[in-house]
Each structure stands twice: as C-alpha cells, then as structure tokens.
Amino acid sequence: MGSYYYPYAAHRIFDQYDIEVVPLRYEESFFCGRCGRMASSKTCPHPAAGRSDTSQTRIRKALAECGEIPPELVGPEVAKMLRQPDVILTD
C-alpha cells in the first residue's frame, strides 16, 4: 500500500486496549549486504545505502512477471513454494 498506512500502526492497537498481552514490537527488517543477513536498525550498524528492504510488493511483482525474486528477500526454498500454482497472492 505504499505509504498509505503508518508502518507501525499494528503496534498502536496494543496501546488502545488492555488485553493482558505484552506485544513484542519489532522494527522493520532489511537485508544488509555487509552483514550478509537479515537485520534491523537495532542489530546492524551499517549505512542504509547497503540495505535492501523486504518489500512484499516487490516479491508479488516478481512472481506476477515470472521474474527472479532476489535471494536476499526470499530464500530459494520459499521462492519455489511461492511459485506453486495453488499459492494465492493478494495485494
């Protein structure tokens, strides 16, 4: 949805209701080329220039166009499962 929704809107729902659950709040993750793994701003000190976001829209587009999914976004096993004809992708 682009920037339509506040990225951490799901976190806020727990601030509005007391449901006796303590949520674990995570920042957005990304693939860091220098670390060679998934990370967050809490776990990776490298500049943003070497990061790839985990855009679900980018993954859906690659699947729809029969393109390659970058391996830093989805592992090969998951990419193979996503390419199965019975997997339903929604926007």
Domain range annotation of the chain:
27-82
pLDDT of residue 17: 84
Give the pLDDT of residue 49. Answer: 92
Whether the full predicted model's pTM is greater than 0.95, yes or no, is: no
Phi (first) and psi of residue 42, to 5 degrees = -80, -25
For residue 75, which of 38, 48, 46, 27 has the smallest C-alpha distance? Answer: 38
Strands (E), the chain: 30-32, 37-39, 51-53
* Higher per-residue pLDDT: 45 or 83: 45
Contact 32, 46 (CB under 8 A): yes
Closest CA to 54 of 37, 31, 76, 71: 31
Whether 91 has a pLDDT exceeding 60, the answer reads no
Quote the CA–CA distance of 73 and 58 in Å, as a whole number.
Answer: 9
Is the pLDDT at 88 greater than 80, yes or no? no
